[in-house]
Structure 1
Amino acid sequence: MPMKRVGCAAVLSAACLFGGLASAGESTQAGRVQAALDDWLAERAAIEGVTGIAAYVSLGTPGPNIEAFAGTTGHGEAAPPVDQDTLFAMGSTSKSFAAAVILLLEAQGALSIDDTVGTWLPRYAAWKDVTIRQLLDMTSGIPNYSETEFISRAWVEAPGRDLTAEELVAAVYPSATSQLPATTGYHYSNTNYILAGMIAEKAGRKPYADLVRDLILEPWGLRSTFFSAGTYPPEVTDRMAHGYFENTACADYQPPDCAESWNKPLIGRDVRQDSTSWAQAAGGAISNARDVTRWMRAVFEGRVVPPKQQAEWLSMISTRTGEPIQTLTPEDPQGFALGLVRMLAPDGTFWFYQGMTLGYRTLYVWFEEDDVLITVQTNSQPNDDVNRLPDVATAIHAALKTP
Structure 2
Amino acid sequence: MRKSLRGKRVAAVGTLVALLAATTAAPALAAADPVQGALDTLTAQDGVPGAEAVVQDGSRTRVTRSGAGDFTTGRPFPRNGSFRAGSVTKSFVATVVLQLAAEGRVQLDAPVERYLPGLLPDRRITVRQLLQHTSGLYNYTDDLPLNDPETLRHRGAAPAELVAMALKHPALFPPGTSWSYSNTNYIVAGMLAERVTGHALTDEIARRITRPLGLRDTYLPRRGDEELPAPHAVGYVPTGGGLADFSDYETTMAWAAGGLVSTPADLDRFYGALLGGRLLRPAQLAEMRRTVPANLGIPGARYGLGLGSIPLSCGEFWGHEGGVLGFTNLAGVGPGGRRVTVVLNENPTPAAANEHMLAATDAALCSGR
In 1, Cα distance between equivalents of 2:179 and 2:323:
19
SS at match of 2:62: strand
Q: Which residue of 1 aligns with 2:333?
A: 366
Q: Which residue of 1 aligns with 2:361?
A: 393
In 2, Cα distance between equivalents of 1:167 and 1:219:
32
The equivalences for 1:3-402 within 5 A come to 3-13=15-25, 35-45=33-43, 47-60=45-58, 63-77=59-73, 80-148=75-143, 150-152=144-146, 155-174=149-168, 178-179=169-170, 181-182=172-173, 184-232=177-225, 234=227, 236-246=228-238, 268-319=243-294, 333-344=300-311, 348-368=315-335, 370-381=336-347, 382-383=349-350, 385-387=352-354, 388-401=356-369
Identity of aligned residues (%): 28
The 3 A distance-change label for structure 1 pair 266 and 366 is farther
* Structure 1 residue 102, shift from structure 2 partner: 0.4
The 3 A distance-change label for structure 1 pair 276 and 332 is same
Q: Kindly report the root-mean-square deviation, in angstroms, between the aligned alpha carbons of the 2 structures.
A: 2.8
Contact 2:82 2:261 in 1 (8 A): yes
The one-letter code sitting in structure 2 at the alignment partner of 1:304 is L
In 1, Cα distance between equivalents of 2:35 and 2:312:
23
Q: Which residue of 1 aligns with 2:8?
A: none
The 3 A distance-change label for structure 1 pair 125 and 353 is closer
Contact 1:172 1:180 in 2 (8 A): no
Contact 1:333 1:344 in 2 (8 A): yes
In 2, Cα distance between equivalents of 1:85 and 1:44:
19
The 3 A distance-change label for structure 1 pair 268 and 128 is farther
Contact 2:16 2:321 in 1 (8 A): no
* Structure 1 residue 68, shift from structure 2 partner: 3.2
Contact 2:136 2:171 in 1 (8 A): no
* Structure 1 residue 89, shift from structure 2 partner: 1.2
SS at match of 2:318: strand
Contact 1:229 1:284 in 2 (8 A): no
The 3 A distance-change label for structure 1 pair 160 and 37 is farther
In 1, Cα distance between equivalents of 2:147 and 2:64:
37
In 2, Cα distance between equivalents of 1:308 and 1:266:
52
* Structure 1 residue 347, shift from structure 2 partner: 5.7
The one-letter code sitting in structure 1 at the alignment partner of 2:280 is V
Q: Which runs of 5+ in 1 are unaligned?
A: 15-30, 247-263, 322-330
Q: Which residue of 2 aligns with 1:22?
A: none
The one-letter code sitting in structure 1 at the alignment partner of 2:100 is L
Q: Which runs of 5+ in 2 are unaligned?
A: 3-11
The one-letter code sitting in structure 2 at the alignment partner of 1:348 is G
Tell which deviates more after alignment, 207-216 or 191-200: 207-216
Contact 1:103 1:305 in 2 (8 A): yes
The 3 A distance-change label for structure 1 pair 399 and 153 is closer
SS at match of 1:395: helix
* Structure 1 residue 389, shift from structure 2 partner: 1.1
Runs of 4+ in 1 over 6 A off after TM superposition: 264-267
Contact 2:322 2:329 in 1 (8 A): yes
The 3 A distance-change label for structure 1 pair 70 and 346 is closer
The one-letter code sitting in structure 2 at the alignment partner of 1:371 is G
* Structure 1 residue 242, shift from structure 2 partner: 1.3
In 2, Cα distance between equivalents of 1:191 and 1:294:
27
* Structure 1 residue 227, shift from structure 2 partner: 1.2
The 3 A distance-change label for structure 1 pair 153 and 10 is closer
The one-letter code sitting in structure 2 at the alignment partner of 1:354 is E
Q: Rg bigger for which structure?
A: 1
SS at match of 1:90: strand
The 3 A distance-change label for structure 1 pair 266 and 4 is farther
Contact 1:90 1:285 in 2 (8 A): yes
Deviations 1:174-209 (A, max 9, x none): 4xxx44744740100010000000000000110111
* Structure 1 residue 121, shift from structure 2 partner: 1.6
In 2, Cα distance between equivalents of 1:132 and 1:208:
16
* Structure 1 residue 85, shift from structure 2 partner: 4.4
* Structure 1 residue 315, shift from structure 2 partner: 1.1
Contact 2:53 2:342 in 1 (8 A): yes
SS at match of 2:274: helix
Deviations 1:216-246 (A, max 9, x none): 1111100121211434354x44433211224
Deviations 1:3-60 (A, max 9, x none): 232232514449xxxxxxxxxxxxxxxx97xx44543444322554433222221223
**TM-score for both structures, normalised by structure 1:** 0.78
In 2, Cα distance between equivalents of 1:282 and 1:118:
20
The 3 A distance-change label for structure 1 pair 38 and 83 is same
The 3 A distance-change label for structure 1 pair 37 and 230 is farther
* Structure 1 residue 364, shift from structure 2 partner: 1.9
Contact 2:202 2:219 in 1 (8 A): no
